[in-house]
Structure 1
Amino acid sequence: MNLESHPAITLRQIWHFVVAAETGTMSEAARRLHMAPSAISMSIAELERIIGAELCIKRKSKGLTLTSTGRAVFLQARELLDLADEIASLSKGDRPNVRGPLTVGCYMTLGPTIIPPMLSDFAAQCPHVDVDFVEGYHEDLQERLLDGSIDAAFLYDMNISPAVRTAPLLTADPYILLPASHPLQAAAEISLKDIAAEPLIFFDAPPISTRILEMYRESDITPHVLHRSRSYATVRSLVATGRGVAVLFQRPRLEAPYEELRVALKPLAQPRSAIRQQATVCLAWPRSTRLNARAQAWVDVATERFSANPPDVV
């Protein structure tokens, strides 16, 4: 290679372009990189000048739209940044020297429990990685993994695409949510048969909703679904007003004790058969993509964090 004639493209220009393309606007890229939008714009303009082609079209109402050349450059640029991270990781050999942007996803209802401790632990070990996160539901997050808009995601390990690799982190047990005045509120545990005739406030977000229906079917019970919601807070509020009961796989920290919120949370009694009731929370990433140093560090920190100190509520 003739280094003297090599284009003067810098990793910083590549980095600015990738972050802008991933976030969709100059202002959001500037926020993530702690720079002025004009500096990001100038960096990308210089990259376009060196390449000799327009990489993105800037529209105030629609943000950035990549050109055909921009899409091709974006894919190669991500690979280049990943390779640079791997080289830095090999030469430095420790997490404090890993740097750059990282975008992770989290299944909506797991966010309050998993994201805060992960951000704290990860920042302590990888202080130079700029982490952003998005919350979503099962199919949406898997699509984002496969289109490259997020690097890794916390999901339930059910109905996972064959194109996605997973690492198990912890298990979640099912619970029954009752109105505080319910006759069974003093019971140590409750079976599905105990609430078979009760109206069900259905948490309607796969794969948890699918698992709940499977549990009813395996217990030979047809649930009477009165209301459906994808919001844990809405489900809890409907139960609190006596509209029905709910089956959930998590016990998120609340703004007040369950008693003050007029609900009672009870363990679901294990059936005598070998029906699997637990759900596994995992970290997922694309099978076809080799993790960059930032994403690998995120996976490692999550595995260490939750295997050694699982959340007291999930």
Structure 2
Amino acid sequence: MNLNSHPAITLRQIWHFVVAAETGTMSEAARRLHMAPSAISMSISELERIIGAELCIKRKSKGLTLTSTGRAVLLQARQLLDLADEIASLSKGDRPNVRGPLTVGCYMTLGPTIIPPMLAEFARQCPHVDVDFVEGYHEDLQERLLDGSIDAAFLYDLNISPAIRTAALLAADPYILLSAGHRLAAADEVGLKDVAADPLIFFDAPPISTRILEMYREAGLAPDVLHRSRSYATVRSLVATGRGIAVLFQRPQLEAPYGELGVVLKPLAQPRSAARSQAIVSLAWPRSTRLNARAQAWVDVATERFSADPPDVL
């Protein structure tokens, strides 16, 4: 390295390129960075001039498409920004000084109970981090973690790729959702054998759906699946009309009290010899990636927030 000269590339140009590549459009990158789209475009054009290669193809209808060089530069650019964060935080070490963008994911049904309290607490402790989040299902979020489009994600710790590391946050117990007029609506708890003859309104989203089927098999039962849905609202509505029962792994936040919606939620009774069929909610990130200061702060705050005061709706 020539110590008498310095690279013409700036961290600002790198930052603009990474945000544009991850958001997919100049307009969204401009919104995230609170800048004009033209300024983002000029910054990336200057970066392309210095590198001597086109990094992305800009189409109004399709947004940005990275070239092969752009994909290679994006990987190194992320690492460079992470290293810059590490250097900047060496003499600071406290969360109020952590800065920059952070994109996190959350398993769809966990969003209403995990994301609002987490965003509030993180904003209190890390006010200069610009957090964006995406909701999705199990496989989609794991793919996003591994391709680098999100930094961390809240997932159920079941069927996780070996390439992903997890930190357990809390446990979600299984429940039985019944219609208000069900014969067992007044029971303190309900076992799977108690509702073996009832049609199942199946929440069909792995890994929870996989765990529900395993529970039936462990009980020596075969569920009579009547309807399938990935929507808690749809499952709840079908149960309320008496179409069947549902097995859930959290108490979903509803738009009105359970009684008004025509359903009741009962803890799942299990034989004393059986292990509890809890599902563990974890925070996940790629094993191959060293967490940057922002993502590490997110992991730390989540661990503190939910271990000290787990949501009562899970």
Q: TM-score range by the shorter chain?
A: over 0.9
Q: Paired residue for 2:56?
A: 56
SS at match of 1:280: strand
Mapped partners of 2:185, 2:73: distance in 1: 60
SS at match of 2:250: coil
The residue identity in structure 2 corresponding to 1:277 is S
Q: Cα offset for 1:4?
A: 4.7
Matches within 5 A, 1:130-149: 130-149=130-149
Q: Paired residue for 1:173?
A: 173
- Do the aligned partners of 1:218 and 1:275 also contact (CA within 8 Å) in 2? no
Q: Cα offset for 1:3?
A: 4.6
- CA offset digits 1:151-206 (Å, max 9, x no partner): 10000011111110000000000000001111111100000011000000000001
Q: Cα offset for 1:270?
A: 2.2
Structure 1 stretches of at least 4 aligned residues deviating more than 6 Å after TM superposition: none
- Do the aligned partners of 2:177 and 2:264 also contact (CA within 8 Å) in 1? yes
SS at match of 2:261: coil
- Do the aligned partners of 2:102 and 2:151 also contact (CA within 8 Å) in 1? yes
Mapped partners of 1:230, 1:125: distance in 2: 34
The residue identity in structure 1 corresponding to 2:106 is C
Q: Which runs of 5+ in 1 are unaligned?
A: none
SS at match of 2:274: coil
The residue identity in structure 2 corresponding to 1:106 is C
Task: Tell me how many residue pairs correspond in the alignment.
Answer: 314
The residue identity in structure 1 corresponding to 2:277 is Q
Matches within 5 A, 1:220-235: 220-235=220-235
Q: Cα offset for 1:275?
A: 3.2
Q: Paired residue for 1:72?
A: 72
Q: Cα offset for 1:53?
A: 1.5
- CA offset digits 1:81-102 (Å, max 9, x no partner): 0001111121211111111111
Mapped partners of 2:3, 2:17: distance in 1: 23
Q: Which runs of 5+ in 2 are unaligned?
A: none
- Do the aligned partners of 1:7 and 1:50 also contact (CA within 8 Å) in 2? no
Which stretch has the larger CA shift, 281-290 or 264-273? 264-273
SS at match of 1:115: helix
Mapped partners of 1:247, 1:216: distance in 2: 10
Q: Paired residue for 1:245?
A: 245
Q: Paired residue for 1:308?
A: 308
Which stretch has the larger CA shift, 268-277 or 59-68? 268-277
Q: Paired residue for 1:14?
A: 14
- Do the aligned partners of 1:106 and 1:136 also contact (CA within 8 Å) in 2? yes
The residue identity in structure 2 corresponding to 1:186 is A
